[in-house]
């Protein structure tokens, strides 16, 4: 078995390649600073990192916490040039490491200041691991900022993407702006040459870029070679652009009993599909936009419903007022009618009084008539009869209609003329 010596400049240097322990072994035996990883990650890391293991790799890890993973990377990569950790927590700045290849930059990885500090020593990295906040915005921003600084042939790993489904991490299932939505969209970027619509790679990330106020380096996107998803992990491999094209068609063999067409295609490039409309449809973002429109319409609807309720309340109030006014009007009408009736009665009585006076007094002057009304017992029997005949006044009927006068010793006609008329007394029962 071939063994290769490792340079003796670091703790792992005493081992030979065939003796190298797996990451899981190193992790299990680790006694230093604390690190925690999910069990399924070890196999993934072993497969993905194997080809880098003994190279002079430059490693960047966003998210240091206790610094355990930095120590493990140092052990796992005996020839690593540098292992740079970045953490927003100032306490990480106090951490010291026995391995001088490890350094820590304190700062928010999503800022230009921190980016400058991170890049100042090495310019670019071969392995970048994002084990930071796991919030969708941070994960996406970190990729936009650091993927351009990944070396050709390098790999970018985003850990703990299960957070992409949790609201506390700006996640949601099938949400258009989550870290998972972003990495899934990068799969389309890998197939950019087949879009047939002339859009830039970054166009398909426009909604996400706008959302997080970032931009994606079009050139860097053309270096995305492959995207690999595992439970909670996404690995993006960067390669030179010529490695990221479909290439020419290769045809092998000579016997084509079923279809001979492929024989003619050897060495040709894929032809563009004809009749493909130039159209970018971003369904999740559309759904979000439609949901927003729906929300606005619902708010408008609620506003209109409030206005309608207010108008109905006003209508009810007006109806109640109208009813009050109608009752008042009915009462006034009744009162008016009663007044008219009493006026009519009064007019009729006045007319009767006048006629009585004419019968009793004959054709006297007005002054004479008035004077003549006053004395008692001056009416002749003949005139009294005339009054009865004309049904203007009947003494008996007067007493019947006004029984309180029966024994009062008054002359009925004189009583009527002097006070009964003004008192409104009836002249007969049918009056």
Task: Give me the half-sphere count of Cα atoms (radius 13 Å) on the Cβ side of residue 156.
Answer: 27
How far apart CA 24 and CA 194 sit, in angstroms, is 40
User: DSSP secondary-structure letter at 5?
Assistant: B
Q: Which two tokens stand for residue 150?
A: 């990944």
- Report in angstroms how near the CB of residue 214 gets to ligand SAM at its nearest: 14
Specify the residue, 20 or 65, whose C-beta has the smaller distance to ligand SAM.
Answer: 65
- Report in angstroms how near the CB of residue 160 gets to ligand SAM at its nearest: 7
How far apart CA 235 and CA 229 sit, in angstroms, is 7
Specify the residue, 23 or 110, whose C-beta has the smaller distance to ligand SAM.
Answer: 110
How far apart CA 412 and CA 398 sit, in angstroms, is 7
- Report in angstroms how near the CB of residue 122 gets to ligand SAM at its nearest: 18
What strand order describes the sheet that includes 58-62?
A: 102-106, 82-87, 58-62, 125-130, 150-158, 233-238, 224-230
Specify the residue, 68 or 153, whose C-beta has the smaller distance to ligand SAM.
Answer: 68
Q: For the chain, how are helix, strand and coil distributed in percent, rounded to 5?
A: 55, 10, 35
Let me know: does 85 contact 103? Beta carbons within 8 Å: yes
- Report in angstroms how near the CB of residue 33 gets to ligand SAM at its nearest: 8
- Report in angstroms how near the CB of residue 120 gets to ligand SAM at its nearest: 16
Which backbone phi and psi does 84 adopt, to 5 degrees?
-100, 125
Specify the residue, 88 or 190, whose C-beta has the smaller distance to ligand SAM.
Answer: 88
How far apart CA 74 and CA 9 sit, in angstroms, is 12
Specify the residue, 137 or 202, whose C-beta has the smaller distance to ligand SAM.
Answer: 137
- Report in angstroms how near the CB of residue 34 gets to ligand SAM at its nearest: 7
Specify the residue, 177 or 393, whose C-beta has the smaller distance to ligand SAM.
Answer: 177
- Report in angstroms how near the CB of residue 178 gets to ligand SAM at its nearest: 17
Query: Measured in whole angstroms, how far is the alpha carbon of residue 57 from the centre of its chain?
Result: 48
Let me know: does 106 contact 90? Beta carbons within 8 Å: yes
Specify the residue, 91 or 390, whose C-beta has the smaller distance to ligand SAM.
Answer: 91
Specify the residue, 117 or 200, whose C-beta has the smaller distance to ligand SAM.
Answer: 117
- Report in angstroms how near the CB of residue 224 gets to ligand SAM at its nearest: 23
Let me know: does 412 contact 394? Beta carbons within 8 Å: no
- The alpha carbons of the chain give a radius of gyration, in whole angstroms, of 55
Handedness of CA 423, 427, 429, 431 (dihedral sign): negative
Can you give the binding site for ligand SAM, defined by CB under 6 A? Answer: 35, 61-66, 68-69, 86-89, 108-110, 131-133, 138
- Report in angstroms how near the CB of residue 71 gets to ligand SAM at its nearest: 9
Sequence-distant (≥ 6) Cβ neighbours of residue 323 within 8 angstroms: none
Specify the residue, 90 or 377, whose C-beta has the smaller distance to ligand SAM.
Answer: 90
Strand partners, 104: 85
């Amino acid at each position: 078995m071939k063994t290769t010596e490792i340079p003796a400049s670091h703790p792992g240097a005493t081992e030979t390649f065939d003796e190298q322990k797996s990451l899981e072994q190193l992790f299990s035996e680790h006694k230093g600073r604390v690190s925690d990883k999910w069990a399924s990650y070890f196999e993934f890391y072993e497969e993905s990192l194997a080809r880098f293991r003994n190279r002079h790799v430059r490693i960047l890890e966003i998210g240091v916490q206790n610094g355990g993973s930095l120590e493990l990377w140092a052990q796992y990569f005996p020839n690593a040039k540098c292992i740079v950790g970045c953490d927003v927590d100032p306490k990480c700045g106090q951490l010291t490491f026995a391995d001088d290849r490890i350094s820590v930059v304190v700062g928010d990885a999503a800022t230009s200041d921190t980016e400058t500090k991170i890049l100042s020593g090495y310019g670019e990295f071969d392995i970048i691991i994002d084990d930071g906040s796991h919030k969708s915005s941070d994960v996406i921003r970190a990729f936009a900022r650091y993927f351009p600084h990944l070396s050709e042939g390098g790999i970018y790993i985003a850990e703990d993407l299960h957070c992409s489904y949790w609201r506390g991490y700006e996640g949601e299932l099938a949400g258009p702006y989550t870290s998972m939505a972003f990495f899934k969209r990068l799969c389309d970027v890998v197939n950019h040459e087949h879009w047939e619509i002339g859009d830039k790679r970054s166009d398909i990330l426009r909604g996400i870029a706008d959302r997080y106020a970032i931009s994606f380096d079009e050139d860097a996107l053309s270096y995305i070679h492959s995207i690999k998803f595992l439970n909670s992990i996404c690995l993006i491999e960067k390669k030179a652009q010529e490695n990221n094209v479909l290439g020419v068609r290769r045809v092998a063999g000579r016997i084509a009993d079923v279809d001979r067409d492929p024989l003619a295609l050897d060495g040709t490039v894929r032809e563009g599909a004809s009749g493909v409309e130039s159209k970018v449809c971003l369904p999740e973002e559309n759904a979000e936009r439609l949901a927003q429109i729906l929300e606005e319409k619902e708010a408008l609807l609620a506003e209109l419903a409030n206005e309608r309720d207010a108008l109905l309340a006003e209508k009810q109030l007006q109806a109640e007022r109208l009813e009050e006014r109608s009752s008042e009007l009915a009462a006034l009408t009744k009162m008016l009618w009663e007044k008219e009736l009493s006026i009519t009665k009064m007019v009729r009585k006045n007319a009767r009084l006048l006629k009585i006076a004419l019968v009793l007094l004959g054709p006297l002057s007005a002054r004479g008539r008035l004077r003549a009304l006053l004395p008692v017992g001056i009416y002749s029997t003949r005139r009294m009869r005339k009054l009865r005949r004309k049904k203007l006044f009947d003494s008996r009927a007067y007493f019947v209609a006004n029984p309180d006068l029966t024994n009062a010793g008054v002359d009925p006609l004189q009583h009527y003329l002097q006070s009964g008329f003004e008192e409104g007394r009836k002249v007969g029962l049918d009056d």
